[in-house]
Chains A and B, each alone.
Chain A
Amino acid sequence: MGEILKRLHEDIHFIEGLNSCMNCGVCTAICPAAEFYNYDPRVVVETVQRGDEGEIERLLESDTIWYCGECMSCKTRCPRCNTPGLVIMGLRRVSQELGYFTRSEKGRQQYALKHVIGESVLKRGYCVTPDLVRPEMHPEQGPVWEWVYEHMDAVYERTHGNLRKPGAGALRAVDEESMGELRRIFDVTGGTEFLEHIEACSREEARREGMDLEEGYFLRTYMENSDNHQ
């Protein structure tokens, strides 16, 4: 068994997600990603089930595995209790561990996600906070959000929040002791190492392309759309 298959067979999502696929295609019929992208979860599961290391390697370096939205609609419908969405989570993990993710446009976006969500968790104790939803990066949020953003302190006070203040309540500042515990959990469980690995691979890719990681490369991974995915 090759390195990729070995890692997949140790992955809890992969173990839980793949029993025995009979290729019926119900997952593809229900899949919101298959409706939007050139994406077929049935084919992904079939490829993985065949166990050809070379074919799976091509999947890991492709855009394909990044199209899924992890809604897990496939889990409800599969007559064999497989979950293609969990298989995808396993493939994405291995793609990142082995550095394949920087070879595809959608895979490279993991840097943007690490930069925005991963760093927010370790800095603030939340995945998302209002200051992260900057109107210029979120035009779809509309003028009411722009108004909320401009009057953040007053709006959250009006609506019973406790924005960045000690104590309980919505959007409170997480105390330093709790933040310390959260960061130590990331250290002990490999979460910190995983984030640093995404950054190191992305830094290498940015260097190869002659781009600054935190500016040019970030904006490229966050905004680039080759329109070659439907």
Chain B
Amino acid sequence: MKLEGKEQIWKDYQKEIADDRYYYARSCIRQTFFPGSEWAYLDILRNRLGKDVMDDPRHTTCTGIGYHSDVVPAQTIMTVVARHFALMTEAGYENITPSCITSFGIYTEILETWAHHPEVEEQVREYLWKATGREFKKPRNLAHTSDIIYKFRGEIAARARHRLVDAHTGRPLRGVDHIGCHYAKMFPSKGIGGAEFPAVLSGMITAWGGEAVDYPERRHCCGFGFRQYLVMANRGYSVANSKKKFESMRPYEPDFIVANCPGCAMFLDKWQYTISEMEGTTYGANGYGIPVLTYEELAGLVLGYDPWELGLQMHQVAVEPLLDKMGVAYDPEAKYLTRDGKEMGRPKCPTYLKV
């Protein structure tokens, strides 16, 4: 085997990722379901890795969920994104890093569309000026926040308090990755490993001591489908697609799932509960589910953050089996307490899924 040749091919699946000075674009879904992940990302970047990240309160939704639900026209979302570029430009930044995969796909699509159709970009500049009086430069570098964590996976490994290894047996923990359709299926050259060889999350898993599981439906959609989840009548589509993935990954006995897209992370967590209620089926060992983490949560655990500071109590599938394997110390009694230690009740127990 000629390694040089393989290395050459692999270069086609890499992308440029800026190494500092990022303009952060939050995610509607991530901040709703995983607020601790957004906090951990900023804390890791700023306080552990010494990076400059701007968290701008003037930033709004990109309107992506509305766009892919077909209630927000293309010229509208383009102008909203152009405003984000303007805020970035005015703040003196050139590297934009969306936290949402839908946003990342949209930013990428818009820049590609403008490259093919400069007249569309000109029209958007006029719209933005008319609506806000702002002007913008296009970002020099666009990277998803997972790309940034991937870039610094070695630095995170060097600071690890826990590895993705069974602390009792030394066995590397098996991780299933889910990179999300809009990360690389639309523009494969913009995602690490492209759509075919997803590496952004599996690269983190292996760097932190785990084993990345390749399974038949690894690349299949989680089933969000925008209108297919948002409208109650359509949710069968959504859960059916996640079920297909769970059935396919189950024989590999994964210790955890790590997801790129905040929507995917939420669905892969919540649908395990729904399927257990519908069919009595659970996918983890001993009646538990397979813990589902965001990559920020995974990085946070590796770096020794407290699970409840990361917001893991907001997950439906219990994360304790993974914490126990990793040897993470945690206080079970603190899981459902307020910041100042007051009780706020406990969630009800599901019928079948052990928590």
List chain A positions with a Cβ less than 8 A from chain B.
12-13, 16, 32-33, 35-37, 66, 68-73, 75-76, 83, 89, 92-93, 96, 106, 109-110, 112-114, 116-118, 121, 125-130, 133, 137, 140-148, 150-151, 154-161, 166-172, 174-175, 177-179, 181-182, 184-191, 194-195, 198, 221-225
Contact = CB atoms under 8 A, between A and B. Distances in A.
B132 interface: yes
A72 B181 contact: yes
Interface string B261-290: 000000000110110000000000000000
Contacts of A140: 235, 239, 270-271, 273-274
B35 A12 contact: no
B349 A143 contact: yes
A185 B342 CA distance: 44
Contacts of B348: 143, 146-147
Given A36-B240, A130-B32, A188 B127 contact: yes
Contacts of A167: 57
Nearest to B344: A151
Contacts of A112: 230-231
Given A16-B113, A142-B274, A142-B316, A36 B120 contact: no
Given A69-B224, A109-B234, A118 B71 contact: yes
B116 A16 contact: yes
A119 to B, nearest CB: 10
B286 to A, nearest CB: 19
A147 B228 CA distance: 25
Contacts of A13: 74
Contacts of B157: none
Given A158-B308, A170-B39, A188-B127, A133 B71 contact: no
Interface in B39-71: 39, 55-61, 63-66, 68-71
Which 7 residue pairs are nearest across A and B when measured between Cβ atoms? Answer: A69-B225, A191-B76, A160-B39, A170-B31, A159-B311, A127-B65, A147-B347
B71 A175 contact: no
A113 B39 contact: no
A175 B56 CA distance: 11
A116 B227 CA distance: 11
A113 B60 contact: no
18 contacts: A33-B228, A69-B237, A71-B185, A112-B231, A118-B66, A127-B64, A128-B32, A142-B273, A144-B315, A158-B311, A160-B39, A160-B311, A161-B31, A169-B57, A175-B58, A181-B131, A191-B73, A194-B71
Interface of B: 26, 28-32, 35-36, 38-39, 55-61, 63-66, 68-76, 78-80, 83, 105, 113, 116-117, 120, 127-128, 130-132, 134, 181-182, 184-186, 188, 195, 220-221, 223-228, 230-237, 239-241, 244, 270-271, 273-274, 308-311, 313-316, 336-339, 342, 344-350, 355
Contacts of A182: 60, 80, 83
B271 to A, nearest CB: 7
A98 to B, nearest CB: 14
Contact of A129 (B32, B105, B113, B347): B32
Residue of A73, A142, A195 contacting most chain B CB atoms (<10 Å): A142
Residue of B70, B117, B345 contacting most chain A CB atoms (<10 Å): B70
A117 B350 CA distance: 29
A36 B236 CA distance: 9
B70 A166 contact: no
Contacts of B349: 143
Given A69-B223, A126-B61, A185-B128, 13 more contacts: A12-B113, A16-B116, A89-B70, A116-B230, A117-B69, A125-B60, A137-B232, A144-B315, A157-B338, A158-B339, A159-B309, A175-B57, A189-B75
A13 B105 CA distance: 14
A169 B221 CA distance: 30
